[in-house]
């Protein structure tokens, strides 16, 4: 058994090395902290080679949406309200809904999505820009999301990021207020779902199964003696896995949130860094920390002097609530709890095909 694990790890190391030296992608890290008394906190970093302007959006329940794939598209009405982080105001890449479900989209070069037929002969489509928002709108728990998404009633459809040569290839992580987790990937056109409360860490390439093999290898080496220190996805996965369990496990919210922030900062990429021969190592642009027990969403921009946070309990997620935005895309500076600084706004248009 140990020999098989080692061989898998060796293969995964080779894969991630080859991808790092031959392909251009972007890097992120996601980690879930589990403390006593149902203290669950999900933290993530957004690492990208180019600036990725973001805003915070309040989406109430009762919003009628479609998958932005033309006539052959999935349609739904949001069951839950959510706090979401947009990217270029064409996609939602991160967020938490009013039930404490968190969705994070991270880059995965290995992604290969199913074929989509716009003529209506195949399954309905969902633009990748809406993948995270679909989960936030429709599900309260990971188990509920997994049960529904396994039915594959639609296919995720992707395209190039406007104005770039970057083809959007991502995988999706879900976590909830009970500490349950799921990782969703499209590999060779097939949906692969990894579902377990133990899946508390995710980075980028290689695929999640190989990330687990790499981590299993490193568990045999005490983290307080040696940890891999590069910015590569495999190394960040190992460090995040070690540190999220090494920090104090507490129900003191102030300490727990600080701990989650410290881990995601430790796994971030310094601003402006570039490594010759490794084009997929990208500057950390922003970080979020979602306190799923207390429903507080923290946001930290790399160019801002401080983090801000939003208490979701102070927002109106009812069907009578308004869509609102906290503008962050022009380096606006705020301080502290900012729920009262959101401004009613027209919703942005999700990128479709």
8 A C-beta contact, residue 123 and residue 152? yes
Res 264: pLDDT: 96
Q: Residue 71, Cα to own-chain centre: how many angstroms?
A: 28
Q: Which of 5 and 164 is assigned the larger pLDDT?
A: 164
8 A C-beta contact, residue 102 and residue 292? yes
- Interatomic CA distance for residues 232 and 205, integer angstroms: 9
Structural domains in the chain, CATH included, are 2-344 (3.60.60.10)
Q: Give alpha helix (H) positions in the chain.
A: 2-22, 131-138, 142-149, 208-218, 233-246, 253-266
- In the chain the first and final C-alpha atoms are separated, in Å, by 46
Number of CB atoms found within 10 A of residue 71's CB: 10
Under DSSP, the state recorded for 218 is: H
In the set 16, 19, 27, 28, the catalytic residue is: 28
Summarised one tens digit per residue, pLDDT across range 82-138 is 999 999 999 999 999 999 999 999 998 889 999 998 777 789 999 999 999 999 999
Res 120: pLDDT: 73
- Interatomic CA distance for residues 318 and 228, integer angstroms: 46
DSSP 140-155: SSHHHHHHHHTT--EE
- Interatomic CA distance for residues 181 and 202, integer angstroms: 11
Q: Which two tokens stand for residue 113?
A: 């999505």
Q: Which of 118 and 351 is assigned the larger pLDDT?
A: 351
Q: Which two tokens stand for residue 329?
A: 């895309």
HSE, CB side, 13 Å, CA atoms: give it for residue 315. Answer: 36
Average model confidence (pLDDT) across the chain: 89
Summarised one tens digit per residue, pLDDT across range 138-171 is 999 999 999 999 999 999 999 998 888 888 999 9
Summarised one tens digit per residue, pLDDT across range 204-250 is 888 888 888 877 777 777 777 778 878 888 888 889 999 999 999 99
Res 212: pLDDT: 82
Res 272: pLDDT: 85
Summarised one tens digit per residue, pLDDT across range 269-286 is 889 876 655 555 689 999
Active site residue 267: no
Res 22: pLDDT: 38
| Helices 233-246, 253-266: crossing angle, 10 deg rounding | 160
Res 23: pLDDT: 43
| Partners of residue 242 on adjacent β-strands | none
Res 226: pLDDT: 75
8 A C-beta contact, residue 334 and residue 343? no
């Amino acid at each position: 058994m140990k020999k098989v694990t080692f061989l898998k790890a060796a293969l995964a190391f080779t894969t991630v090395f080859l991808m790092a030296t031959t392909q251009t992608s972007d890097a992120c890290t996601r980690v879930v902290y589990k403390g006593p008394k149902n203290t669950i906190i999900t933290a993530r970093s957004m690492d990208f080679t180019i600036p990725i302007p973001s805003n915070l959006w309040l989406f109430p329940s009762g919003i009628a949406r479609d998958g932005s794939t033309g006539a052959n598209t999935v349609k739904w009405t949001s069951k839950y309200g959510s706090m979401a982080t947009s990217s270029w105001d064409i996609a939602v890449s991160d967020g938490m809904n009013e039930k404490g479900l968190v969705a994070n989209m991270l880059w995965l070069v290995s992604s290969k999505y199913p074929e989509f037929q716009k003529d209506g002969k195949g399954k309905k489509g969902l633009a990748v820009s809406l993948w995270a928002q679909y989960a936030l709108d429709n599900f309260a728990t990971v188990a509920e999301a997994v049960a529904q998404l396994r039915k594959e009633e639609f296919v995720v459809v992707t395209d190039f990021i406007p104005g770039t040569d970057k083809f959007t290839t991502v995988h999706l992580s879900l976590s909830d207020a009970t500490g349950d987790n799921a990782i969703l990937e499209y590999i060779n056109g097939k949906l692969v779902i990894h579902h377990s409360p133990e899946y508390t860490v995710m980075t980028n390439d290689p695929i999640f199964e190989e990330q687990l093999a790499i981590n299993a290898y490193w568990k045999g080496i005490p983290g307080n003696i040696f940890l891999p220190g590069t910015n590569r996805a495999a190394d960040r996965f190992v460090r995040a896995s070690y540190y999220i369990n090494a920090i104090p496990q507490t129900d003191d919210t102030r300490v727990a949130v600080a701990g989650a922030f410290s881990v995601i900062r430790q796994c971030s990429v310094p601003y402006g860094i570039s490594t010759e021969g490794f084009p997929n190592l990208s500057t950390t642009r922003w970080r979020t920390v979602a306190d799923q027990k207390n429903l507080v969403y923290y946001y930290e921009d790399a160019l801002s002097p401080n983090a801000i946070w939003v208490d979701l309990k102070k927002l109106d997620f009812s069907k009578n609530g308004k869509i609102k935005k906290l503008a962050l895309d022009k380096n606006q500076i705020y301080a502290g709890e900012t729920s009262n600084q959101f401004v009613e706004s027209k919703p942005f248009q999700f990128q479709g095909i």
